[in-house]
Structure 1
């Protein structure tokens, strides 16, 4: 399976590069047998930072493809203190990534195991595969069908062909612009509204969100199931001193490895 390229998409602002590098390192260390093509959408990145990120990719025989998007194309869209223009970049996955499938990951994640089974999910009949977001229920305002669940967009296995063929990007951007009064989580709300239940639900282990660890049913679940992807959702992040996330140590385990890697190679990020 080494010859099969697993396409992974990240989007990042310059201030999130250290956390992206940490997520990337955790992905590689826990998936040594897989061959990756890493696609990075960003609005601005220095040649120095490109070089540093590519060093990690070269170490693990991964291909790096950096695509710089013009922020002018996103004028008029909702942003906030917690959400930025870069949140909308992932909507362009089907425009810039070849093939039928890719895995999108937020930069505030740690990959804690193999993503092979996740990536190889059959999503031919769905727009994407994701994990439900139990922290938010806005069905009525977004116009969701009664049986449609609301997913978290921080981890999404994307059916690029179906998204492309049905012009989902344009529909989501239009929804966000015209229904701004019902939008709370920017493109995530837009995606849920447009896709409206036409997605494959994944087990919670593939997107262990911070809120889940406060709920008894999920916290009991993760006592017996090791999360494959830890997603540090919310405004409190593990690199902040006040953060008390139970998996904070996981972030710092890989962050330190990245620091050591760059020190050894006489680079800093």
Structure 2
């Protein structure tokens, strides 16, 4: 600790003696400006939420910020140095920041929501056992060869009748014939999606995905005659009866999914879009605020690879049009958009319905009903056997290969 303090003081002396500094680092910019050293702040990603309120501010704004923080610290440290107990210190902080929180809440309410929902959502009737189970996949030519594995796993573990809605991009008639021949008993309906989002680019999609991942957001309008559907990614195997998932009670919720992380963590990464950040940092700051209006950003969020969707409720909310608008404006991917739409308010499925392959062999977990190869590594990759967790689960994938 002592050496760290010595190094820090030496760095401050260097900053103080400098004629001028140009930096992309916050920990260099702030002390330079505080000590009066001329400094140019050029962050690589201005949309980074750590820089909110710091990029491009003038001397008066900086001084107001410094004065406000100094006054807050003086109140709190005054209590600490006077020997106050922890509860008194926390109470002092809450009282001192109460006006700031109230001001922020008023400002936040002024932002438009990313998604508007219809008032008084109706409770959706539970799916009847006699209903055919509606299932959807979205993919392009990169993944068409792996659809039969997933379909075979579904058919092998259910007694329900299935209808598969395949949302595709770039497929040829030969590709479609190959899938149908590999699954001769499957009732398949094909939906070509090349027209949708054709001019929107990639936005903030992660590197190992394509725009096909967005197509699940089109389902409410694409299938107006269907009230609910199970959406599944292609990189998974179904070991349970998907009819149980299809019949899961939604109540007044639009979605059912397995909770996987906190929404704030996901938004923090996906809002920092290199394609937009350099040009629209202020717009993205407003976007984060708008996303927070829907619900607590530190609330639960889900992986969108396994979903039960109330298409009727999502149509009523106008979800597809709003998702398209937000993707084109901000580049948010399907998973982020769906989580922003839900705002933490969704029917939670048991973990067994979306088990990460890396945790499949945990002995303390409920037996998996769906095993999902999330992330970059997939079971069809040539080097899959070289990865320990992947190698242990390859048998599941290969079990349903031709």
TM normalised by structure 2 equals 0.56
Counterpart among 238, 241, 245 of residue 114 in structure 1: 241
1:238 equivalent in alignment to 2:238: no
**Residue matched to 2:88:** none
CA spacing shift, 1:236–1:2, aligned 2, 3 Å:
same
| Unpaired runs of at least 5, structure 2 | 1-127, 269-287
Rg (Cα) greater in structure: 2
Per-residue deviation at 1:226? 1.4
Query: What 5-or-longer segments of structure 1 have no aligned partner?
Result: 259-269
Q: 1:37 to 1:119 in 2, by over 3 A?
A: same
> Which aligned runs of 4 or more in structure 1 are off by greater than 4 angstroms?
139-142
Counterpart position of 1:138: 266
- The answer (yes or no) to whether the contact 1:43–1:70 under 8 Å persists in 2 is yes
**1:82–1:71 distance in 2 versus 1, CA, 3 Å:** farther
Deviations 1:83-141 (A, max 9, x none): 21101111111122222111000000101121122111111411110011238723674
Q: Secondary structure at the match of 1:99?
A: coil
**Cα-to-partner distance string for 1:47-67 (whole Å, 9 max, x where unaligned):** 2222222234433xx321001
- Give the whole-Å Cα distance in 2 for the aligned partners of 1:249 and 1:134: 28
Partner of 1:251: 397
- Quote the offset at 1:80 in angstroms: 4.2
Asked if the contact 2:135/2:162 (under 8 Å) is kept, the reply is yes
Structure 2 residue 194 is the aligned partner of structure 1 residue 51 = no
Q: 1:174 to 1:50 in 2, by over 3 A?
A: same
Confirm or deny that 1:192 pairs with 2:339: yes
d(CA) in 2 for partners of 1:200 and 1:187? 18
Q: CA RMSD in A?
A: 2.4
User: Which of residues 211, 216, 228 is equivalent to 1:85?
Assistant: 211
CA contact (8 A) 1:6 1:35 kept: yes
After superposition, residues 142-181 of structure 1 pair within 5 angstroms as 142-143=291-292, 145-146=295-296, 148-180=299-331
Q: Secondary structure at the match of 1:102?
A: strand
Are 2:214 and 1:103 aligned? no
SS of equivalent residue, structure 2 residue 162: strand
Residues 162, 187 of structure 2: 8 Å contact kept: yes
Instruction: Report the alpha carbon displacement of residue 71 of structure 1 after superposing the two structures with TM.
Output: 4.4
Tell me, in whole angstroms, the C-alpha distance in 2 between the residues paired with 1:126 and 1:219.
Answer: 31
The equivalent position to 1:18 in structure 2, one of 145, 150, 174, is: 145
Secondary structure class of the residue paired with 2:261:
coil
Q: Cα distance 1:176–1:72, how it changes in 2: closer, same or farther (>3 A)?
A: closer
- State the SS of the aligned residue for 1:81: coil
Q: Look up the match of 1:261.
A: none
Secondary structure of 2:135's aligned partner: strand
- Residue aligned with 2:214, SS: helix
Residue pair 2:135, 2:231 contacting (<8 A) in 1 also: yes
Normalising by structure 1, report the TM-score.
Answer: 0.81
Q: 1:4 aligns with which of 103, 123, 131?
A: 131
Residues 235 and 72 of structure 1: CA distance in aligned 2, closer, same or farther (over 3 Å): same
Secondary structure in 2 matching 1:73: coil
Contact 1:8 1:38 in 2 (8 A): yes
Partner of 2:109: none
Instruction: With a CA cutoff of 8 Å and minimum separation of 6, indicate the structure with the bigger relative contact order.
Output: 1
Alignment size in residue pairs: 243
* Bigger fraction of residues in strand: 1
